[in-house]
A = this chain, B = another copy of it.
Amino acid sequence: MADYVAPGREIGFVVNELLDYSYINSLDDFTDATPDLTAAILDEAGKFAAQVLGPLNRTGDEQGTRQDDDKVISADGFAEAYQMFVDNQWLSLAQNPVYGGQGLPFLIHLAACEMWHSTCTSFALCPMLTAGAIDTMSAHASEQLKQIYLPNMVSGKWTGTMNLTESHAGSDLSTLKTRATPEGDHYLIRGQKTFITWGEHDMAENIIHIVLAPLVDAPPGNKGLSLFLVPKYLVNEDGSLSDRNDLRVVSTEGKLGIHASPTCVMSFGENEGAVGYMIGEPGDGLACMFTLMNHARVEVGLQGVAIAERAYQDALSYARERIQGRNVETGNIATIIQHADVQRMLMHMKSMTEAMRALAYDGGFYYDLRGHEGDVEKKRQADERFALLTPVIKAWSTELVNEVTSMGIQVHGGMGFIEETGVAQHYRDARITSIYEGTTGIQANDLVGRKLLRDQGAALESYMEEISKTVTILNNAEDPELKRIAKQLKDALENLASASRFIVGNAKGSQKFVGAVSYNFLMMMGYVAGGWYMARSAGLAADKMNEGSDNDFYRKKMISVNFYFSQLLPRHLGYRDAVIQGAELGVSLTEESF
């Protein structure tokens, strides 16, 4: 496994050139976050990732975590690295200054997160969950709870978790059995939760569990769910720690990947009941939880980007070193990067990762706008765009990272199958990303059922109009390469539009129809959206090359765009047919079809 090198130029390209970072910088809340400042921060983040987190990845995978009664001991070096992470204030980058955050744009936080997830995704899950918990509390908790808890969470001194799932209730949370009973100014929580990431560990002095549960007398179903803050240690009003709360880790799971991230079964209230405080109003639990989920969904998509980037770096490094066969043109003994099929795989990985990154960061861009834009209409549009892109970022990127990491193994040949090489770990680690925080199927249903059909395609239409503008711009360019890209993007856009019309015209309120077409539509949209960002990249690269600046970077960017357009974008055709030709059969399937 090669040493990680932060893709600073690529990230800088997306943040500052492809996306309009200057607009974010112009917003009142972000006037101090100049490109120079953020570049310096990301530079430091890259060093921290490479030097501190990088060395943890392999040992963390090998050691996993160890449970000792009600303690979970993290792998060697994790607790120390976490302390450094906190000391260096990495967690608070984009957090609210009121609670000690640095108030930088989410987009910059996202770029830093990419590096954490690239170098040690098991580690990075812990601050990711904490950030999600902070978001939920910021949006919905009482001022008192915020005052007591947020400063220590924003600093990273305390970590956070998300407690939704129970063993019988995963994607469907309406049947939760955990119960909350009112008791004076708080609630007593009783029940068991599963799949709790970093639910127990030794890296921080307190763990703040965000727990979804109905009140004892709540109506059944989603509308009866409320949200509670349940700390591992109770906290005094001055923020100091008090008694141990009545909750414990029961067990940790043996998983395919992310071994160093403990996935816990948590038990609440086996004795007197776990003390919890309600966040938001009774019955609003699921809505409050979605604040956390939306944030987490983008970051999980980003996790896909990050692991893909790492897999690409490792494959590229190996391909430059490994000698095998001969160069078919010179006849000389060759490194495998000289073989056409290896080049194909590497460019596939590179191009896919770049498209995924651009899409995910665009989500981050609109996350900042929806939160900090002053103009009401622009804010609404940003909110709409973020909502539209979130399921695509989450699902498309995480489906693709499985392919990219698989290809990373393939480039290594037999060595890729040997765990010591380290690239099989990327394949294993990546596999969870299309499952947690809502499976690909859930995201696809969200995209088609909620984002497409509820507004009859309006949000998508607005997105496609922007793509159409790019088509016009590139088509007006003199460069025949850009014209060709414009033509292909135009065709793809028309195909996306026709698939979207097909769905809007034929769904007729049928959820079965939505379920039958949504995966293929989401994948199609991912490839076309990726094509848009790549096409814009080509336009920028052509301009910059004409100016003569950093030509090597832009020349390579153009290659990667051309690869995307010739080998990856065409996949949208298969998904289009699957939507349009596959809908009728999909709707007709039953349990008896198998």
Contact = CB atoms under 8 A, between A and B. Distances in A.
A514 B328 CA distance: 10
B419 A406 contact: no
Chain A interface SS verdict (over half): helix
Contacts of A268: none
Interface stretch (A18-26, A280-288, A424-432): A424-432
A578 to B, nearest CB: 4
Interface in A458-516: 510-516
A291 interface: no
A180 interface: no
Chain B CB within 10 Å — which of A344, A436, A565 has the most? A344
A393 to B, nearest CB: 18
B585 A578 contact: no
Contact of A254 (B418, B519, B574): B418
A514 B340 contact: yes
Contact of A414 (B172, B342, B435): B435
A571 B591 CA distance: 26
Contacts of A591: 320, 335, 337-338
B577 A566 contact: yes
B253 A586 contact: no
A336 to B, nearest CB: 9
A189 B326 CA distance: 27
Nearest to A559: B593
A424 B256 contact: yes
A558 to B, nearest CB: 10
Interface string A417-458: 111100010011001101110011100110000000000000
Contacts of A441: 339, 341-342, 345, 410
Given A431-B409, A515-B340, A519-B344, A419 B256 contact: yes
A556 B257 CA distance: 36
Interface string A390-409: 00000000000010001001
A571 B256 CA distance: 29
Given A345-B441, A428-B428, A572-B574, 15 more contacts: A171-B325, A171-B413, A256-B409, A256-B424, A256-B427, A320-B591, A340-B515, A341-B519, A343-B586, A343-B589, A347-B594, A410-B435, A410-B440, A417-B431, A417-B435
Contacts of A574: 570-574
A444 B512 contact: no
Given A409-B431, A417-B431, A578 B566 contact: yes
Given A172-B325, A516-B344, A417 B593 contact: no
A344 B566 contact: no
A350 B504 CA distance: 29
A105 interface: no
A65 to B, nearest CB: 14
B417 A594 contact: no
A173 to B, nearest CB: 10
Contacts of A169: 324
A203 B347 CA distance: 45
A339 B587 CA distance: 10
Nearest to A343: B589
Given A255-B419, A413-B170, A439-B410, A567 B559 contact: no
Contacts of A445: 341
A434 B323 CA distance: 20
B410 A195 contact: no
Interface in A109-141: none
A582 B556 contact: no
A329 interface: yes
Interface string A559-583: 1001101110011111111100110
A417 B440 contact: no
A402 B410 CA distance: 12
A586 B566 CA distance: 10
Given A512-B340, A515-B339, A165 B414 contact: yes
Nearest to A255: B417
Interface in A221-263: 253-257
A384 to B, nearest CB: 25
Contacts of A339: 441, 515
A559 B589 contact: yes
Which 3 interchain pairs have the tightest Cβ spacing? Answer: A340-B515, A570-B577, A328-B511
